[in-house]
Structure 1
Amino acid sequence: MSTAGYPKFLQKLIDVLSDLPTIGPKSAERMALFIIKSTRQKAKEFADSIVQARENIRRCGTCFYLSEQELCEVCRNRDIRDKVICVVEYPQDVIAIERTGRHKGLYHVLWGRLSPLEGTGPEDLPLKKLVQRIKDESIQEIIIATSSSREGETTAVYLNQLLASLGIKITRIARGIPIGINIGYIDQATISEAIIGRREVSA
């Protein structure tokens, strides 16, 4: 006797949702059923938002943050920002740091971190662009704000070695960031203290 399963289109939706980070089969199932129970209008809004975001959001041509234009809002206003670049791993880190109000400078988003196990090397990160920005924009300080994970620390060490010869101040956010947690998921008070207490590093 055959076993009853979900209709084809519902199962397809569950499978697609399961591909999202941190979403397991059970969570995907609940999300899919929620969508199915929603009104047709709400489901359409959900689908349209995905398409619109994918078609209209791009990476900033300068710092690689997210934008609907060639340059993100921070880079469009860089003339009134401090000549300090905060290097982060992911876009959500920018939002988290901006919310603290402690950093009035610029950003550079790596979209990852060095990880031999995952096959991510220096050539996979926009590091050449960072070096060029330092030279072109008269940057005075680099704040390395990668996570405290093993990969984040490895990236921080590499950045320090890469930039040491440029003759600018290089600092690392203070310890206190939980190990293995991306900055984008940490509370504002902890991030604020980490920025205020950043220390200068040497090659």
Structure 2
Amino acid sequence: MIPKYPSLLLQKAIDEFSKLPGIGNKTATRLVLHLLRQDVKAVEAFGNAIIQLKKEVKYCKKCHNISDTDICQICADPQREASILCVVENIRDVMAVEATQQFHGLYHVLGGIISPMDGVGPSDLTIDSLVNRVASGEIKEVILALSTTMEGDTTNFYLYRKLEPYHVPLSVIARGISIGDELEYADEITLGRSIANRTRFTGTV
């Protein structure tokens, strides 16, 4: 039987790239062969950048966004509207909202959404940290910018119940994003309008 790849080292590299989300075998092969054509310094720089990221990246102690320091650039920026908090599922969503240039407040990254089917419960998320931020009295509005899925709606309702005692207005982004969509896949204009046209959340969808 003729081996699929001419080199076991090549096969190992392709197998590792194929583990990345959205990367199939053909794309992985193309990427590995591209790196193989580069000089050693270029490949080392590529590998070192990823290793350094993994070893040295921090998570902001306030919002849980990724950062090079204990407090991220957004939380440390005095020009941001510190009284408005946008709650998102993950770091990619922070990037998506920032790209709209329609939101100038602060963020809170939950690290996921409640999904019993996936074994994710409230204790697996940064909900306690969010409650503490709201309880401090510095937050005047909380925007729930979660994916428009059943899990997203479940998380919205749970957060509503947790934050209700603090009497802080809660709002959800407008349904310009199709039901079942995740924030990161929405185009900037649609997402920006959804934030600008957010509506008061009263515990129902």
TM-score by length of 2: 0.92
Distance in 2 of aligned mates of 1:176 and 1:196: 11
Segment drifting more, 42-51 vs 193-202: 42-51
C-alpha contact (below 8 Å) 1:164/1:202 kept by paired residues: no
> Structure 2, unaligned stretches of length 5 or more?
none
C-alpha contact (below 8 Å) 2:89/2:109 kept by paired residues: yes
C-alpha contact (below 8 Å) 1:78/1:106 kept by paired residues: no
Partner of 2:81: 81
Distance in 1 of aligned mates of 2:152 and 2:199: 16
C-alpha contact (below 8 Å) 1:114/1:155 kept by paired residues: yes
> Structure 1, unaligned stretches of length 5 or more?
none
Q: Is residue 35 from structure 1 mapped to residue 26 from structure 2 by the alignment? A: no
Distance in 2 of aligned mates of 1:154 and 1:8: 47
1:120-176 C-alpha deviation (Å, 9 max, x unpaired): 000000000000011225100100000112221221121112211211000000001
Structure 1 runs of 4+ aligned residues shifted over 4 Å read none
Partner of 2:201: 201
Note the 1:103-114 alignment, pairs <5 A.
103-114=103-114
C-alpha contact (below 8 Å) 2:85/2:107 kept by paired residues: yes
Note the 1:181-200 alignment, pairs <5 A.
181-200=181-200
Question: Shift of residue 80 of structure 1?
Answer: 4.6
Distance in 1 of aligned mates of 2:179 and 2:30: 31
Segment drifting more, 64-73 vs 54-63: 54-63
Partner of 2:3: 4
Distance in 2 of aligned mates of 1:185 and 1:38: 32
Q: How many residues align?
A: 202
Note the 1:1-203 alignment, pairs <5 A.
2-6=1-5, 7-77=7-77, 80-136=80-136, 138-203=138-203
C-alpha contact (below 8 Å) 2:177/2:190 kept by paired residues: yes
Distance in 2 of aligned mates of 1:131 and 1:171: 16
TM-score by length of 1: 0.93
Distance in 2 of aligned mates of 1:98 and 1:180: 21
Question: Shift of residue 31 of structure 1?
Answer: 1.6
Percent identity between the two aligned chains: 36
